[in-house]
Structure 1
Amino acid sequence: MAPPPADRDDGDASANPNGRITRDVVLAAALELIDRDGVGGLSMRRLARVLGRDPMILYRHAPNKAALLDGVAEMVLAQLKVDPADPDWAGQLRAVARGYRALALAHPNVVPLLVTRPLATPLGLRPPGTLRPLEDILTLLTRAGFSGPDALHIYRALFGFLHGHVLNELQELIENPDETDDLLRLGLYRLPIREFPLLRSLAPALASYDGATELERGLDILLTGLTDSLTPRPAAQPCPGPSADDRQRGR
């Protein structure tokens, strides 16, 4: 998305003239700009104008735009709740998946930050808040009896699926929403029938896409496969103590 014109009205520049500028305030304002105008619409100068401050003040909280984007991703991911003590590991992963989808739908312009930026940053250099879901899910799964490597495989499989799902859901486009014929609504009539017979035949299924239903179906497939192929170790049982007869004989 192209940056907005320099003379665009970003709201009341004096909306926060006397309020204390903290990192949280800066990140919240940055998120609002991204939600409205996309990542390309965010600049330190625009953000300073929204906050009614000199741009140099913002550099105390984010040395550059890259750090600002990392902070926004960290703030959004902080809303993703994981209960590592949940005894139902599969149920907890479903709850995490639903929560991630909800965040993606609430902040669609932030999704590229959540999906692509971490891939360009080594784990140890990522903002700690972006690693919290990983640590909590590893804790959840190792407590359930999975080995560390298997827990990592499950995390990667889950978030690989989630990233693909939310990107797909956000890009489900209808060409002609007023059309009643599914082939026309999706523009699939443009495809040569001899080259894409199956894709054209699935027009009703494609047109009736439901993100929540697709998520649950995908999780059914994923979690069933994980349960079948990766079996957690049973919880260690305490060694039984000597019986009363044993203690009597030991006298």
Structure 2
Amino acid sequence: MERDDTAGHRAGPGPLNRRTVLRAALDLVDEHGLEALSMRRLGQVLGRDPMAVYRYTANRKEVLAGVAELVLEELETFPDDVHWQGQLRRMAHELRRVCLRHPNVVPLLVTGPLSTPLGLRPAGTLRPLEQILGILIRAGFSPRGALHVYRAFYGFLYGHILNELQELIADPHENEALLRLGLQRLSLRDFPHLRSLAPELLEYDGAQELDEGISILLAGLGQHLKDTTAAAEGA
């Protein structure tokens, strides 16, 4: 029998709409993880018969898509920043902030689109793509080039966020870096470099690491834009 972990989190009776259902689903995922989300448990959280949930979402897959859309709606935009590199840098830090606020949703943001064709995804999940394409095309990238940049940008960004979420401390009460990270369990013969990097791993700063990576990526993209612009002018 499935355990009910939603006690104390029931929304109680009240008017339902699609956003209320998705908000309850997001709260459930935030607290218990993606695997905890089912239509039955969502009905329990809302204090309704699970069949009532189907009036607003057809199935669990649609709920998950709506949860992703809800999270991406939290992203702040920066139209005041006229420089494309500055906008992308700020957008990267903004996505990191939202993802760290909803770490249980990150796998959904990264892998969820794999099972859904682009045109069938919720509009809210496509707005970051449309926004970045607009920024890059206005900066001088060709539409095709802007799409390549978007893929590289989000590929790096999601990779960084997934890596940061794995930087966990095994024992926060230990003073020695090796023990705090649990690396003493690894063979010194098989993992000499990883064990020796314990102090650096312990000092991991996600925001700083992201900024350094973005700086490298943006520098390369800036040079690429200059090269393609010069080539087009010389043709």
So what's the TM-score if we normalise by structure 1?
Answer: 0.84
**SS of structure 1 residue aligned to 2:167:** coil
Mapping of 1:80-119 within 5 angstroms? 80-83=75-78, 86-119=81-114
Residue 103 of structure 1 deviates from its aligned partner by 0.7
**SS of structure 2 residue aligned to 1:60:** coil
Match of 2:233 in 1: none
Q: Deviations over 1:131-159 (max 9, x none)?
A: 11000110011011111111111111111
Mapped contact 1:35–1:110 kept (Cα < 8 A): yes
Residue 84 of structure 1 deviates from its aligned partner by 5.7
Match of 1:71 in 2: 66
Q: How far apart, in 1, do the equivalents of 2:15 and 2:47 lie?
A: 11
- Name the Cα RMSD after superposition: 2.0
Residue 218 of structure 1 deviates from its aligned partner by 0.9
Partner of residue 151 from structure 1, selected from 146, 150, 158 = 146
Partner of residue 3 from structure 2, selected from 5, 8, 12 = 5
Mapping of 1:18-97 within 5 angstroms? 19-83=14-78, 86-97=81-92
Residue 192 of structure 1 deviates from its aligned partner by 3.2
Q: Which has the higher helix share?
A: 2
Q: How far apart, in 2, do the equivalents of 1:57 and 1:195 lie?
A: 55
Residue 97 to residue 81, structure 1, CA distance change in 2 (3 Å): same
Mapped contact 2:6–2:41 kept (Cα < 8 A): no
**SS of structure 2 residue aligned to 1:10:** coil
**SS of structure 2 residue aligned to 1:131:** helix
Select between 35-44 and 172-181 the one with higher mean Cα deviation.
172-181
Select between 153-162 and 174-183 the one with higher mean Cα deviation.
174-183
Residue 35 of structure 1 deviates from its aligned partner by 0.5
Partner of residue 198 from structure 2, selected from 200, 203, 210 = 203
The structure with more radius of gyration:
1
Partner of residue 219 from structure 2, selected from 211, 214, 224 = 224
**SS of structure 1 residue aligned to 2:169:** coil
Q: How far apart, in 1, do the equivalents of 2:68 and 2:9 lie?
A: 26
So what's the TM-score if we normalise by structure 2?
Answer: 0.90
Regions of 4+ moved over 6 Å: none
Q: How far apart, in 1, do the equivalents of 2:133 and 2:156 lie?
A: 17
Structure 2: segments with no counterpart, 5+ residues: 231-235
Structure 1: segments with no counterpart, 5+ residues: 235-251
Q: How far apart, in 1, do the equivalents of 2:43 and 2:85 lie?
A: 44
Match of 1:185 in 2: 180
**SS of structure 1 residue aligned to 2:187:** coil
Count of aligned residue pairs for this structure pair: 229
* Percent pairwise identity: 58
Mapped contact 1:82–1:133 kept (Cα < 8 A): no
Select between 144-153 and 194-203 the one with higher mean Cα deviation.
194-203
Mapped contact 1:84–1:136 kept (Cα < 8 A): no
Q: How far apart, in 1, do the equivalents of 2:139 and 2:81 lie?
A: 9
Q: How far apart, in 2, do the equivalents of 1:127 and 1:121 lie?
A: 10
Residue 12 of structure 1 deviates from its aligned partner by 6.0
Q: How far apart, in 1, do the equivalents of 2:91 and 2:219 lie?
A: 17
Match of 2:125 in 1: 130
